[in-house]
């Protein structure tokens, strides 16, 4: 119930240069019991920003009115990583097979109108977020990746969300699994 909202939220995005450097932000008016209203969008091109420096950006909302004020800092981080499963094989083969059997998702629905889905995953733990590469034209993708996160709270929940990449629009939601760390 304000025309001047202030979120004061911090988000950590772990990006890799080969994935590109554009963050797309959309703003919505959430209406209880009704469809949410689109307010506007803006894009931040991270490739134009210098590293190891905080930038104050005033981004006008396209397709809407108003603007967002963002503080953006690009910095190197080794705390959260993605590596290939084939390179970092678990020493105990039984443990590796158990992990694959317990958490492997082997079904991706086909939401693409033509051909097969182009799935990729977003893996989130608290405020840490990692993206896999896209496996194009595949309904049974295998990423074979190991994700390393700093665990600050054992009561946290690891969320893995699968999307279908769509170059013309935002990605389509395919599915999600939530894994409480206490269950691992």
To the question of pTM greater than 0.75 for the whole model, the response is no
Rounded distance, CA 15 to CA 163, Å? 17
Q: In what order do the strands lie in the sheet with 128-131?
A: 128-131, 119-125, 157-164, 172-180
Q: At residue 158, what are phi and psi to the nearest 5 degrees?
A: -85, 125
The two structure tokens encoding residue 183? 């269950």
Domains, in order of start, for the chain = 1-77 (no CATH), 81-180 (2.60.40.150)
Half-sphere CA count of 130, side-chain side, radius 13 A:
20
Q: What is the DSSP letter of 17?
A: G
Specify burial of residue 163 (Cβ count, 10 A radius: 0-12, 13-18, 19+): buried
Can you give the pLDDT at residue 114?
54
Q: Among 54, 97, 99, which residue's Cα sits nearest to residue 75?
A: 54
Determine the Cα–Cα distance for residues 161 and 105; give it in Å rounded to an integer: 11
Determine the pLDDT at residue 63. 82
Return phi, psi of residue 114, to 5°.
Answer: -125, 125
**Which residue do the tokens 């992990």 mark?**
99
What pLDDT was estimated at residue 79?
A: 61
* Number of residues that make up the chain: 184
Give me the tens of pLDDT residue by residue for the chain, a chain 184 residues long.
777 888 877 777 766 655 557 888 888 888 777 888 888 899 998 888 888 888 899 999 988 788 899 888 887 665 666 666 555 455 666 766 666 566 554 445 555 555 678 899 999 988 888 888 888 888 888 888 778 887 878 899 999 999 988 877 788 888 888 989 888 7
Rounded to 5 degrees, φ, ψ at 152 are: -100, -25
């Amino acid at each position: 119930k304000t025309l001047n909202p202030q979120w004061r939220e911090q988000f950590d995005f772990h990006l890799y240069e080969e994935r590109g450097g554009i963050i797309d932000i959309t703003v919505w008016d959430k209406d209880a019991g009704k469809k949410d209203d689109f307010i506007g969008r803006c894009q931040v091109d991270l490739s134009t920003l210098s590293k190891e420096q905080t930038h104050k950006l005033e981004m006008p909302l396209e397709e809407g009115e108003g603007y967002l004020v963002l503080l953006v800092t690009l910095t190197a981080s080794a705390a959260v990583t993605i590596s290939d499963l084939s390179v970092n094989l678990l020493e105990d083969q039984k443990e590796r097979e158990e992990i694959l059997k317990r958490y492997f998702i082997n079904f991706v629905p086909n939401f693409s109108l033509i051909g097969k889905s182009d799935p990729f995953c977003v893996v989130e733990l608290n405020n840490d977020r990692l993206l896999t590469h896209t496996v194009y034209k595949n309904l049974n993708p295998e990423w074979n990746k190991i994700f390393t996160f700093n665990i600050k709270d054992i009561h946290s929940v690891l969320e893995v969300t699968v999307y279908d990449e769509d170059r013309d629009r935002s990605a389509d939601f395919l599915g999600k699994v939530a894994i409480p760390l206490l269950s691992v």
